[in-house]
Amino acid sequence: MDSPGHPPGIFSVSEVSSLIGSLLDDVRLHDIWIRGEVTNYKNHTSGHRYFSLGEKAGERNALISCVIWRTDAARLACELADGMDVIAFGSVGHYSPGGRYQFYVRDIRPAGRGEKYLLIEQWKAQLSAEGCFDIARKRTLPPFPARVGVVTSETGAVLQDIRNVISRRCPVELVVSPTAVQGDLAHIEISRAIGRLAGLVEVIIIARGGGSFEDLFPFNHPDVVRAVASSPVPVVSAIGHEVDVTLADHAADVRAPTPSAAAELVVPERVKILEELGGIRKLLAGRLLAKLDRASADLADFRERLSARRMGQRLTVRREDLSVLESRMVREMESRIAREKERLAGYSRLLAAGNPVNLLSRGYCIITREKKVVRSIREMSPGDRISIRVADGSAEARVEEVYHDTDV
């Protein structure tokens, strides 16, 4: 092109700079990851970070100038230093005041962890396409589960926390499917542990305590995510701390911030259930009595108005109408009373199902030590005096040996 005010074929500096900028405006240089070694790192007082990414290329070093603006630098998850092997995310652009191109970095990670991060992003896209994270497939938790499955380490504190919460709120049967929760092959064990619970429980808790990014990495593996998504019963995830989010959390039907919170989600609080049932019973009884009173008053009013009418044929017809109306009202009230009785019976059955005394008739027993209910084998020791209550009486015994139960 010819420049105004210049002889033909001569460019101005700004024109060349603009041309270079347009050439660098290539989609292949936007939103890319670059791996290299940090050199010439400088943390400027303005908050901006300046450095280069270097790479040994044959006999010469390849370098690209980089900058991280203050707002992006404030969000960095790691501190930079010369010699670090990193992967950086950003876009290549032209810095016309300095007459050079540079890489404008928006995110940067240590290379080892960064590669795992990219792998998780690839898995996330793949599993999302398979429908593993679809909101439409999320299921609600059963309100009154009888058996709860737990997938976690059998030696950690997580399992004991879950047991304590459930025994306090509403004792139900726990089926533990133990697994390793970290390590290179943990994803295989976790997915198999989930599969072992199929057909045995009504809801599953997958849990582990806090940990590093690497510790939680198995819960991002597609094997685990697919096992969660294909579970025949709802799954509650409680993996790491609340700020730690894995792909298994996205696939679970419900995510809890802690294992204890997961236990609170899957079982109701028995005391509140009993209070609600008592309130419902009173409400239904009151409504039934009110309806009977209104029906009785309507019938008495109709009879009174009918008796005041003229005798004769018309009175005969009205009496027949009254008889038909009375029969219809009696049928309707009997039907309504039967429905209300059935609802009350349903609530009574539900209340009886949670009554520990009823469990005694099914072969269970209640053990007390020093007048306190024994909830865990950890509360008994050889030589302890205990009381055993069954359906039709009780017995005193002494503990000879203590054995811990065997899980799935």
Q: Is the pLDDT of residue 96 over 90?
A: no
What is the per-residue pLDDT for 354?
Answer: 59
Average pLDDT, the chain: 83
Which of 399, 368, 405, 369 minimizes the C-alpha distance to 159? 405
What is the per-residue pLDDT for 226?
Answer: 97
Q: Is the pLDDT of residue 191 over 90?
A: yes
What is the per-residue pLDDT for 60?
Answer: 58
Are the C-beta atoms of residues 15 and 1 closer than 8 Å to each other? yes
Q: Is the pLDDT of residue 124 over 90?
A: yes
CATH of 13-110, one of 3.40.50.720, 3.30.1330.40, 3.30.470.20, 2.40.50.140: 2.40.50.140
| Rounded Cα gap, residues 179 and 186, in angstroms | 8
What pLDDT digit, counting tens, does each position of 351-403 carry? 666 566 666 676 778 889 888 888 888 888 899 999 988 878 889 999 888 88
Return the DSSP state at 3. P
pLDDT grade for 324, boundaries at 50, 70 and 90: confident
pLDDT grade for 347, boundaries at 50, 70 and 90: low
Neighbours of 42 (CB within 10 A): 11
> What number of CA atoms fall less than 13 Å from residue 42's CA on the CB side?
10
Element (H, E) at 90: strand 85-95
Which of 85, 123, 102 minimizes the C-alpha distance to 49? 102
What is the per-residue pLDDT for 48?
Answer: 94
How confident is the model over 277-297, as a mean pLDDT? 80
What is the per-residue pLDDT for 227?
Answer: 97
Domain formed by 130-266, architecture: 3-Layer(aba) Sandwich (3.40)
How confident is the model over 62-84, as a mean pLDDT? 87
> What number of CA atoms fall less than 13 Å from residue 235's CA on the CB side?
29
| Rounded Cα gap, residues 105 and 51, in angstroms | 10
How confident is the model over 190-214, as a mean pLDDT? 92
Tokens standing for 155? 């030696």
What is the per-residue pLDDT for 304?
Answer: 77
C-alpha distances (whole Å) from 277 to each of 343, 350, 378 are 11, 9, 34
Which of 170, 219, 211 minimizes the C-alpha distance to 193? 219
Domain segments of the chain as ranges: 13-110, 130-266, 270-354, 360-398
What is the per-residue pLDDT for 204?
Answer: 97
Return the DSSP state at 223. H
What pLDDT digit, counting tens, does each position of 238-267 carry? 998 888 899 999 999 999 999 999 999 999
| Rounded Cα gap, residues 370 and 329, in angstroms | 60
Fold match between 13-110 and 130-266? no
Least reliable range by pLDDT among 46-55, 215-224, 267-276: 267-276
Of 72-76, 188-192, 387-391, highest mean pLDDT = 188-192
Tokens standing for 359? 């469990």
What is the per-residue pLDDT for 136?
Answer: 94
pLDDT over 70 for what percent of the chain?
82
Q: Helices marked H in 179-269 — which ranges?
A: 186-196, 213-216, 222-229, 247-251, 259-266
Neighbours of 61 (CB within 10 A): 12
Contacts by 37-45 with C-beta closer than 8 Å and gap 24+? 37/83, 37/84, 37/85, 37/86, 38/80, 38/81, 38/82, 38/83, 38/84, 38/86, 39/63, 39/82, 39/83, 40/82, 41/80, 41/81, 41/82, 43/80
